[in-house]
Each structure stands twice: as structure tokens, then as C-alpha cells.
Structure 1
């Protein structure tokens, strides 16, 4: 998630509405990173429009600047000089007052008039060293104005009159303190300022001189320095002005070259249907050349911020949603560190139509490591349309060739495979890896699973040039016929068909002609043989007719015999059964002995058993003769099962067998009530008969789809797999050590299976020796015979 957030932030997607509103200031106010700055510089364009005014205004501004600097500095320097003079005059005034006071006090304290040396010493002691800076000279004169001492000591001045040393000396000596500090000229012609104080008692005066040259030495040095700086600054500005005009001329020339070059590359890009991209991925800004706007039909003035710089989202919105997005490109650059990008996608032009564009760009990093995607976008709509149309045509051509029933193969002028269909591959046993475009004929034939065994030229040949036909026989015995034709580029196309059947028919025709001759000879022999066989068939037909009549008569005699036998046997059996029942009931008196009662019971049971066998035989004979008819009615299954259980319960109780039932309630079927009851009695009787004393019998009934399924399960002796195949046949009974003690006709299962089949159902037996037996049968809920009967009754 962190990577995705960083990627989106890097791609510049987080541009809010405020950022878009401030787009102009952001794009034009900040330095445009990357190579887009070479082509997009609105400030430079504004500066270029002011270039003519600047060329005239810059020299005037420089001269005005120098004039203002010179005047201001001159006024400042003169003011500083006046301040220096005023400060020195004030200091001179102060020094004169101080020396006057000190010398006057010394003179008053001395009683005698001091000599020249004493005056010199006194002056030296009175003057501090700091008062003598800047070339100052202090003179002590007598009342006549003659210099008698000086500090610093200068003997050349001693003895000279002040008037000879200083101009206007009489004004100084005359007015004294009232003369203040005056500008004077020394005898050497040097200008100076001077202050004079008269000593008390008319003993002379003190004069303090300050030459202007040392006093103004610092000021003059400053003036020289300022003049030098002004001259240097003026020279530099003149050089800069010259460089400006030279650079301006060079810039105009460079602009001309740039505009010409830009016009040429824009023209080239426009003619080539290309546009320049410079994508600053870290800032989310994309530069488009004018040709890119023209490519999409977008006016440059309609672009954000009136520049060639676009926001990431503005460009991303132009990309088709089903094509690779610009986010995918940022993933390739930032996550997978791709060096180059080559993607094809659709962009929406000014008309709202989707235009195929191919972006080919190189990842270039700035000095700070920021990734830029620099490249061109090409309009490939026409190529994409041609490619799609070519692909559609190629697909149709491939499908058409695949639908051919013949083998098809196309070779180029170097006998290399161009294309073939699957029929050709199957005929030669070639896999798709072997039969690939570009493989040579010789290499393919070396890997054929079914090589050629022989060739027969039918028409043409290599020397015939354009077309030829030939037949080849494969190793597996098949025959192929190929028709070849040269193509315009020097290759050839071959169409082959499997003519094995035709070849076989040709061989058959030859063989048939030979056999036909032999057949004609055989026909004569066969005719005689057929005549003999015809007479024999007539005799066999007569014998078959007699045997059929004899079998029908025997079957009728069997049925008549069984009917008469049943009648003849039933009459004495009824008497035997009836008399045995009377004797068991002792209707005419006691029998006397228990042995007689046992004999009567055995006679009755044997008679009943024999009667059951006779009834089974009669029922089976009726079923086989087709004279057993079913009387369909709606029968309740649970009622039939209950009646059957009541009949069989006495025999089950005798063997202490527990019969459990699980019968689904309210099951009604269309069936013969007597037949259904007989099926249940036969199956339950067998279950009781072959179950061990104290065993269990389970009877279940349920509806399965449109059928009712009834199953009877016992835990008796069971039946082996070999004996199961015999059960269900008339008079068959499984024989084992246990069944030998159970007597029966063996018709119970056969009758039950036949009755179930007559209802449209089936009976199945599953058994394991020693485990028990499950006999199940299923009958349809709605019988087709009952439906037909109802339709007849309704008609």
C-alpha cells in the first residue's frame, strides 16, 4: 500500500482543485525540471517582447546610475572635507585656549622675565604630544611679534616676525581671541588655519598653526579612492553594457536559429504524425510539443495554463480505460526500473474519437536523480487498422485453408514453409513444433514420420515451370496426389489429396475382372449345386413343418394332460384332505391312539402340499400358454402385505420367526390383486421355509420414482452364486445340505418372476451362503395395461 501511495504521489495524481486553479503560477513561476525547459519558457517569451525597449533603456539607466552615484558621492566627500576643517578649527581653538592658560599661569608665577631657553622649555612642558598631530606648529612670540620659541622646536623659525611667516598675522595679533580661527597662508605658500592668543602683561602671544595639506591628507586619499572606484565601476558597467548588447545580438541570432530549428522539427513531427513527450514523473508534469496537440486535434490554447505543460490527470483522462494506463508506465519506471518504454494505447482526440498512439520513450534522469520519460508519440491508427484488417484476413485465410478437405502447404522461393493446414500435418505425421513457419523443406522431410516410398509423375514436372501433378506412396501404404503451382514471388503452393481409396478401387477393379472370369465358371458349377440344395431345402421344409405340427400337438397334449391330471388328482385329493380333516377333528369319535392323530396330520399336510404343487403346475402352464390374464384394479399395498402376513404368520410362529415390516403408508398401484398376493405368499413362504428357527424376516415397501419396490430379506441359509443362476426357472430348486429337507415344486420363484414381468416389473435376488437372501421386485404405479383397459371401457 505504501508503494502504491508513493507511486500515485510521484505521478502527480494528488492535484487538488486549488492546485489546478494555481496551475499558471506553479508552472510558470517555478523552474521547469527536465528537458521541457528547452522548449517551454513563457517568461523568456515575455522578456523577448520587451527586448527593444530594454536595448534603449539600459544605457540610459546606466548613465543615470553613474551620474547619481557621482553627484551623491561628491556631495558626501565635500561635506566630509568641510567637517574635517570645522573639527580641526574647533580643536585649534581649544588648544589655543589651553596653551594660553598654561603659559599665562607660568609667566605669572615667575617673578623674573624668563630667557629664551626657559621659554622654550616652558612651551615644551605646556604642550602635550597629542596636540602636535597633523603637522601642527605652536609658536611663542614676544610683544613685538618676533618668534622666541616653537614646538616642535624649529630654530629656523626663531627670530622671525609673525608677519613674515603668516599672512594676515597683524589681524591675528591685533584681535587675538576675537579673531577666532582664521584661514591663512604661510610664507611657503602653503594654506593653513591659525589661532592666536595674547599673553597677559603684553608679554607676547601664542600662535597655533595647522597646515591644510597634512590636515586634508586622509580626505584627499578618500577622494582618490572614490574616484578610482567610480572609474572602475563605470568601466565595469560599460563592459557589462557592451556584453549585454553583444549577448543580445547573439541571443537574437540564437532565437532565430532556435525558432527555425523548432519550426523544422515541429514540421517534421507534424508531417510524421508524431508528438514530443517529456514526462517529469516525480512532479507529475508532461510536456507536449505543438505537433502533439495537432496530432490529437487539441488547440494549444485549450491546454491547462496556456502552456505545453499538462497535468498528469489531464493526460491520463485521454487514455482509453481498456488500454495500458499511464499508472502502468509509472510502475515500469519506478518499481521495475525499466530503461525504455514502448506501449501502444488509444487516446481520445478533439472529436471524441479514439486514436491509436504508440509511445516510445527513454528513461533519462536529471542531475538530482529525478526520472524523466523522453520520447515521441506516433499516430499508428492507420497501421493498427491495417494490422487488424490483416489479422482478420489472415484468420479467415487460415480458417478457409483449415476447412479444406485436402492437404495444403505453401513454400517460399527458398523452399521454406510459409503455412500449412492440419490435414497436411496429419498426412505426414508432423507436429506443430516441426511444421513451423520458416523451416526448410529438407529439414521437415527428415523428420517426417511417414516418408515417401515412390513418386509417379502424372502431368508436368520441374521443367514444365508453372504447374505439375504427381502421386506419391507413403510407407504405410497410402497414396497421395499433389497439384503444385508456382507463385509470383518464386515459391509454390501445393494441394494434396488422399487417393488411397481410388487406388484400392483400381486394384479392386483389376482383381474384380480376374475374379469375374472365375465367377462365370463357378456360376455354372454353382447352378447345379443350387438345384441340388433347393431340392434338399424342400425336403427340410417339409420335415420342419411336420415337426412344428408335432410340437404343437405335444404342447396341446401336455396342457390337456395337465388339465385332466389336475382334475383327476384334485378329486381324490379333496377326499383325502377332507377325510383327514374330519378324522383330526374326531367328528365320528375318538381315534384312540395319538399315533393315529399323527398319521392324520401327516396325511392332511401331504395332501395340502400335493394340492399346492398341482396348483403351481397349473398356474405355470397357464402362464406359458398365455392363458393367464390379469385383472387390474387399484390395490393398497399395505393391505395386501397385511393379508399375506396373516396367512404366513402361523407357519412363522411355528418356527419362532420374527417378521418385521417397514411399509410406506398409502401406497396404491394398478395391479392384479390375486397375482400380487401370490407373489408375496411365494416369497414369504420361501423366506420362512429357508430361515433358521428363531430367525428374522424383514419386509419393506416404498415408492421409488414411478415404481413401488417391495423387498423381503431373511437371515437364512443363503444361496451360492452358481445356484442363483438356476433359480427362477420352472422346477428348479437350489440344492444343498439344508434344502434337501425342504420339499417343493421349484415353481414359486418362477411364477413370481413371471407375474412381476406380466405387470411390467422385474424380480431380483441377492444372496450369500450362510448370510441370508434378499428378494426384491418392483411394479409400476400406473400399469399401461390398466390404462388401455380404461380407454376401451370409456370408448
Structure 2
């Protein structure tokens, strides 16, 4: 890089870094006198205020002095006028005022605008000079003052008043002998202060001129200081920009005073080292303490520059930063000579090259790793440049061509190297199925020792090419094995084809059977729906005449129209009514079951008191229980509440009570118990009857299924009670479970959902074994199994179909 001329360097140093050197050596710039501007402003303000106060004070004192003199003159003239008028009245009692007042009063009494008024005994003006425009006004009307002035007269002395026309004036009153009243002498203040105004105007002009002169001086001073501040701001902006550029560029400026042995750094230099910026010069000893001992001696460079043997400096060295780490710097400087400073200065720049040094070391390390990696790969690798000269290769390439290590030196020509190589035995070029790039090729080569290589060659961006050879001997052997396997696979495929045809025939047969199954299923479902519709229709058709049979049998039993005759008729009517009632119940069950299966049942859900529902169910079946002397006991807390249709829940409990009473022995006991279970309410119906065969329990809840041969009143029942109960419980989202043993008894557990407020706060806890044992003990002796904490699984499909019905 060419060195800049000395004159240019000198100009640069003077314009940019002169201020740094001047500040450093102790000379003071304009910024050191910044306090003078507020001081000058304060002095000017104090002078202006003092001058204003002086002028105001002088004018005020002069005005007061003139007013005092006017008061004295008025008092003196008032006495003289009063005395002359007294004498005139005594000497000429008839017409004392026959002459004008200006001829009667002393000379000089009416000078400077003074006025005289003489009143008669009524207080009206009898004579005046100068004459008044109004005729015979009162003295109060002329003076416009308070009555005290005219009452006290001479005792009041000279007073300051405001005339009716608004002009201020001095007034003095004196009494006169009869037939006159008073004499008033008026002295307008405007006439008194006329001379004072002339003097004050001269003082005002002098004060204004002085003030303008002072303001002009202050304005010139402040304008000059503003220009100086603008220059300082420009200089500060230039310095800030230069410092920012140096800081972002990781550079620092040096000014080395060789003759004095002092070095000045810019702030960016301190920033690079992580040191606090100081506006002082460093000594050579401080610099040498920061330098690495192996990076040369700056003292020798300074001696050479001082002796004139060198004009420039270009040196790479290391400095220690604030963290104790070494930073690589490159300093470039030129000799600068200044007429104002006889010494020699080395002025230049120091650039942080730590990243470049680290990058160079990293690049060198990466090259070493790359060469090691190339040499350790299992394929033969070689790289040629655009002039077909060798760049690098590995040992596998040398072994491939039988080359000695000294033959493959970097920079050797391709022809010279390959002339010493052994040619392959077979060379076959492989064409890619998808088309290959024009600057790439792939071929296989078989060596003399029987090995096979696959060689890939590709052009590089700089015009050279890279070649990689992989050993594919094992692949070649596998190809032979694959061909043999392919022949065997072809035979297997033929066998599989025949098997597939057989499977396709079987799949077709299965599809035919599945289609027949769906048709038969649809027919069965249609028959089931037809059956449900038939039962519903038949229930309606049978209920109409059955209601008449029941009604007429009850009327015949009541004998409203007279006796039937033989008592046997009453017995027959009772049998007819009981049979009709039973048949009505069966038809009602059939109709309810049909409506449940058709999804026509809708629940009127609300919050229900479980204890109240249990009492209603017991009351509806207490009469039948009393016929068998069966005791019905209810055990439920008052705070147990569930959500559901009250009529449906009472009907479900009635089904369980009906079966419990039906299968209980004479004098037995049926117990209803309700307990909270987590977020639900469990209701248990336990009896000590004959029990149920365990093999028949899975059938419970199916329509028209009978699990016992017990007959009541000569009838076994329709088998729909438990089916209706299960459907209603599932419609509530609940569950039903049975536990029974033959000869011991049966327990039915019904689980109902609790209200939402209780569900949110409830925690599911398993049923305590002690509670299970208490249920078994209350139901009857010998019951070993009761309803557990698990519940029957709800059927979402059936429930959704029922609840979605209109």
C-alpha cells in the first residue's frame, strides 16, 4: 500500500487530532470558558436593573421634591392672599372686590396656572380668577372634594385632591370675614410637574440609549458565543462520528511524540482494550507493560524514526486487554512534523486483527483436518485444478494406480503422473438412467488383482475436477447372488400368483355371504320393528275393552243398583277385576317397552329428593307387601339428591320392590338404602328371598325373559319389568347391577347422577367393605355378595337414540 504524502498527513493531524494534542498538553480551548456566557448575562442583567432602579429612584425623588416645594409655595401664597383680602375687606367694606382678583392678590400668586376662588357666606363662588364658566357654583362643586376640606379650612392645610375633570391638584383654604366665606387657592399638579417631565424625558432618553448600547453589546457577545458553540458542536459531531467509525471498525488512532516519549490514544483504542478512556498521554513504559514480550521492541523503532532512518511504521503486535487476553493489532503510522511543535510525531492507526488471525489459524487447522479426512476415507480421492495439475490426493489413489508417494507431489501435471500408473484391466462406462450432467461421468474399473472400483468424476467451479473411486468388489459378488435369487423369486412369484387367484375366489364367496347376512339382518330388524308396532297397536286395542271390563266389574262389586244375588257373583267380579288389572299392567308394560325401544320416551329431568322418591315407591307397594306380611324399610339421608324424572325413578323402584316382595317369604323383610358414591347416588334394594340362579343373572333386563318359575295369582308375569327399569336407568345416564345367591337373597343396585354442584365437588371413592356387609346383614342372614363400587357400562348408542327422539 502506498504511503500518503507528509504534507497531507500533517494537514490531517492538524485538522482532526490537533485538538486532542492541545488538550492533552494543557492548552485551554473555548469550551473551558463556557462559564463566561452565563456570567456575562448575569452582569448585564445586574447593570441594567441597577441603572433602571437608579433612574426610577432619581425621577421619584425629583418628583417628590417638586411636590414639596409646590406645597410650600401654595401655603405661602395662600397666607399672603388671605392677608391681602382681609386688609381689602377691612378698608373697603362696601365693595371690597370691585377690582379683579389678579390686581388684589400679591404678584406671582397666580403664576404657573394657580387659581383663586372667593365664596360668599352661602358657600357659592363670588369671585374667581381665572373666571369660571358656570355661574355662582358652590365650592364643593368646583373642587369635588369631601365636606371636611371646606369645614376645617385653614386647619386642613394644603391637600391633594382630584378635581371633577379628573386632574390632580393641590388646594389650600382660608376663611374670610363677612360677608365672604372662604378663599380657595388651587395649584394643578400638571403645572407643578411640567418641569419634572422635561427633565425625566431627558433622563429617559439617556437611559434608553444606554440600555440599547448595553443590549447591543450583549447581543453581539451572545451571537459570537453562539457561533463559537456552533463551531464546537460541529467539531464535537465530527469527533463523535470519527470515534463511532473507529469504534465500529475496531480501530484506534495513535499520536506518538517521539522526542518527549509520550503516546496519545483515541477513545476507540481504550474501548478495544476494554479500558476506561483517559485524556492523558501514556508513557513508553506503560505501553511496554501492555505489549507481549515476543512481538518486538517499539523502542528500536522509535530510535530509527528519531535518527531519520525510517519515515513510516508498519508493525503487528499484541496488547493485553482489561480481561487479561491478548489482542492482535496492526499499527501503521507516518512521521508528522508541525511548525508549532519542533518534535517529531508518529501519527497513524492501529487496527484490531484478532479475528483475521483467528480465522487464519482456523483455516489452517481446517486444511489439516481436511487433508487428514481425505487420507482416511475408504475411497480413492484426487483433486485436479483447471490446468490439470494435482492439488491433493490420498493414499488410496496412490495404491489404486500403483504410484509411489514422491510421484504425486502437488502441482504435478496429470500426464506425468498417469504415465507412471498401471491401467485397469477392464473399463466399462455406466450411463445414468435419468441422464447425467455434462460435467460428470461414472464408470467401473477392474484391477489386475480382481478388485472392482466405481469411479465418479465431476467438474469443479474453478475448472478442475474431483475423482472418487469406491471399492465395489463386494457389490459385484452380491450382484451374482441377486441374479440367482431373482431366478428363485420368479418361481415363487408364480406360486404366489396361483395362491392369490384361490384367495380371490374365497374373498368373492365371503362377500356373497356377507351380503346375504346384511339382507337377513335387515329382515330381522324389520320384523322386530313390526313386532314392536304390533304390540303397541294391540296394547291400545286391548286396553279399550279392558277398561270397560275393569270398570263394570268394579261397579258390580259396589252393587249400586241392587244385590247381585249369590255371594259367588261378588267373588267372580273380584276375580274379573284382578285379572283385568293384571292384564292392564301387562299391556302398559308392553306399551312402555315399545315406546322405549322406539325412542319415544322423553325425561322431565329436575333435582329430586331420593328419600321422597323411596317413600312414594314404598307407599305404592305397601298394600301388596302387607298381604304377605313383608316389612318394607327405607334408609336414606335427607340431603341426598339426584337429577332425573321423578315418575320414572319411582316406577323403577316399584319394579325392584315388586320383585323383592314377590320373591320374599311370608314375614320377610325388604330394605331400601341410599348412599352417596362420589359424583352419584347409589340406591340398594335388598331382600332375603329365594335368590336368583347365577346363570340367569346375565338374562336380567332382557324383554320377555323369565329367570324363575314362581307364579303369583296363577300368573308368571310378562318379563318386561326389569327391561323397562334398565331402559329408564340408562336413559338417566345411570347404571344397574345385580348380586344374588340361591336361598340367600338378592341385592339390586341402581346408580343415579347427582346434581352438577355436587358432581364438581365430589371425589369418587370405592364402596367401603363395612357398608357392603351392613347391607347384606340388613337384607337377611347368609348373603355373601353385594353390589360393589363398579357399575354397569352405559350404552351411548342406545341412550343417544332414545334422547334424540322428538
TM category (shorter chain) comes to: 0.3 to 0.5
Between structure 1 and structure 2, the one with the greater Rg is 1
TM-score (norm 2): 0.32
TM-score, normalised by the number of residues in structure 1:
0.33
